[in-house]
Chain A
Amino acid sequence: MKPFAYARPATVAEASRLLGRGSPAIAGGTDLLGLMKGGIAVPERLVDLSGIEGLRGWSRERGAGLRIGALTPLVDLEEDDRLARSLPIVREALADAATLQLKGMGTIGGNLLQRNRCWYFRDEAFPCWLKGGIRCFAADGESHYHAVVGTDAGCNRVTPSDLAPALVAHDAQVRLASARGTRTVSVADLFTDPALHRREEHTIRPGEILTHVVVPEAGLQRRGTYRKAMDRKAWSFALVSVAAAARVREGRLRDVRIVLGSVAPIPWRALEAEQAVEGTTVDDAQARRASELVLRDAVPLKDNAYKIPLARELVRRALLRLAGA
């Protein structure tokens, strides 16, 4: 790592003043330090958020939804039985995420803001588009783990976060605070729309701090489930993941959300499949039909066509689980 200065502010306001280009925030550090060791991120100053009080833990107030402090370690969320009753998908999504050590160090905010794992992006030697270059090396290179859909901008990265699809499926939002004030955006909108052709993965602005994740009441009314396919039994980013959530009454699914991870540069909504099961009671045949609508627009690369049947199968299983549980 290149030398840098280090600040550990005690308040959001102070932190916000210190943040900026070349001066990013660090929380758990499990992603950022990796990028720095690889020469991908070269900050002049790190702003350590861990000294800020009040951004750890979670609360649920009637009518106000669920509020989780961005600095809450993932393992605290996973192990919390009360939280698992309020929003079971969090425990499910975290069960196969990372390792115990990384979950103890990493935070929910950092999990959402982690950068993609593309092996061309992470290798300093490849001047890929996302790093300011002119092309995507995966497009005609090795593409086992890359996107099959939503790659308009010519970057074939995928979202690695396990929590992102799960939170999108529950219409979660994030609070972003800065010296200029606070704004709330949906977790879905935290990810930069690839169609905008911006060389960034997240919409958080320089100087902003992700302070909370909020799941509104409507989102909490949904039952959710998470499915993840990996190429070994632990400690792997998803080959494909699926979060599905819906209000379930008498077996009927409403407000259905089907969100795929690791198939696109953003958490990817399977809108056609959502519509196909909206208002229905899902049986085997129905789940199969709906799953076949998933990723119909996908254009796989040389090595990643397998993700399409895999995503469909995970969607089918997730829907059956939703309907059956």
Chain B
Amino acid sequence: MLGPGAADVAFEVNGHPASVHVPPHHTLLDALRDELGLTGAKRVCDEGTCGACTVLVDGRPTYSCMTLAVACEGRSIETVEGLAHDGQLDPVQQAFIATDAYQCGFCTPGQIMSVVALLRANKAPTAEDVHRAVAGNLCRCGAYPGIVEAALRAARARRR
């Protein structure tokens, strides 16, 4: 039993062990943004409807605003901050730039994480597969055509 006060929770973030001291009512998004300073995942709806806070939990795209931090004990979390390696952007990130798959950029980290998860499971997605993957990631600027294009382009780049 934990709480209602703060407790230590240990998990892995972007391949590195991390630990936070949070009460049970704090979400993974709270922990990432406020405890770990990872502000890529955004708080937009804060109730699991928009996807701007999407991160991967054990590889699965997850709304971090609707996930309790304590429930992440021992799990592997991936955020947009962990995608680039040695200054080299992930093909999905590169494709987002090339196709201009954003305007204000606020939903972009969540969109990218959803696409990353899709491409790991599906090397050659169709546009329809991409739609399914990002239908839970709203974009108020309406960058959807670019996002779909970016996902397909990144998949092609990965296959090459």
The answer to A–B direct touch (Cβ < 8 A) is yes
Where the two chains meet, the residues of A that have a C-beta atom closer than 8 Å to any C-beta of B are 1-8, 26, 29-30, 33-34, 36-38, 45-46, 48, 50, 98-102, 104-105, 234-235
In the assembled complex, the Cα of A46 lies from the Cα of B71 at a distance in Å of: 11
Where the two chains meet, the residues of B that have a C-beta atom closer than 8 Å to any C-beta of A are 1-5, 23-25, 27, 46-49, 51, 54, 60-63, 66-68, 70-71, 114, 131-133, 135-137
Contact (Cβ within 8 A) B135 A33: no
| A–B complex contacts, Cβ < 8 Å, 6 sampled | A3-B4, A3-B24, A4-B3, A6-B68, A6-B70, A37-B47
Least CB separation from A3: chain B residue? B4
Contact (Cβ within 8 A) A1 B66: no
Additional pairs, 7, CB under 8 Å, beyond known A5-B24, A105-B66:
A3-B24, A4-B3, A6-B24, A33-B68, A48-B68, A48-B71, A105-B67
In the assembled complex, the Cα of A98 lies from the Cα of B132 at a distance in Å of: 11
Least CB separation from B117: chain A residue? A100
A161 CB to nearest B CB, Å: 16
A92 CB to nearest B CB, Å: 14
Contact (Cβ within 8 A) A6 B136: no
Contact (Cβ within 8 A) A98 B136: yes
Known: A4-B24, A6-B1, A100-B114. A105 touches B68 (CB 8 A): no
In the assembled complex, the Cα of A45 lies from the Cα of B136 at a distance in Å of: 30
In the assembled complex, the Cα of A38 lies from the Cα of B48 at a distance in Å of: 12
In the assembled complex, the Cα of A48 lies from the Cα of B47 at a distance in Å of: 19
Contact (Cβ within 8 A) A3 B3: yes
Contact (Cβ within 8 A) A235 B71: no
Known: A5-B24, A33-B66. A99 touches B3 (CB 8 A): no
Partner of A29, one of B2, B46, B66: B66
In the assembled complex, the Cα of A48 lies from the Cα of B25 at a distance in Å of: 13
Q: Which chain B positions have C-beta within 8 A of A3? A: 3-5, 23-25
Contact (Cβ within 8 A) B3 A30: no
Q: Which chain A positions have C-beta within 8 A of B49? A: 235
Q: Which chain B positions have C-beta within 8 A of A34? A: 47-48, 66
Q: Which chain B positions have C-beta within 8 A of A100? A: 61, 114, 132-133, 135-136
Known: A1-B25, A29-B66. A234 touches B135 (CB 8 A): yes
In the assembled complex, the Cα of A266 lies from the Cα of B38 at a distance in Å of: 43
A79 CB to nearest B CB, Å: 9
Least CB separation from A5: chain B residue? B3
Contact (Cβ within 8 A) A101 B136: yes
Partner of A37, one of B46, B70, B135, B137: B46
Q: Which chain B positions have C-beta within 8 A of A8? A: 71
In the assembled complex, the Cα of A235 lies from the Cα of B51 at a distance in Å of: 11
Contact (Cβ within 8 A) A235 B135: yes
Contact (Cβ within 8 A) A102 B48: yes
B105 CB to nearest A CB, Å: 20
Known: A100-B61, A100-B136. A30 touches B51 (CB 8 A): no
A-B complex: 3 closest residue pairs judged by Cβ atoms: A99-B136, A6-B24, A3-B4
B88 CB to nearest A CB, Å: 27
In the assembled complex, the Cα of A48 lies from the Cα of B1 at a distance in Å of: 10
Q: Which chain B positions have C-beta within 8 A of A105? A: 48, 62-63, 66-67
In the assembled complex, the Cα of A318 lies from the Cα of B142 at a distance in Å of: 34
In the assembled complex, the Cα of A98 lies from the Cα of B61 at a distance in Å of: 14
In the assembled complex, the Cα of A302 lies from the Cα of B20 at a distance in Å of: 51
A308 CB to nearest B CB, Å: 28
Contact (Cβ within 8 A) A50 B71: yes
Contact (Cβ within 8 A) B25 A101: no
Partner of B25, one of A4, A38, A98: A4
Contact (Cβ within 8 A) A101 B62: yes
Q: Which chain B positions have C-beta within 8 A of A38? A: 47
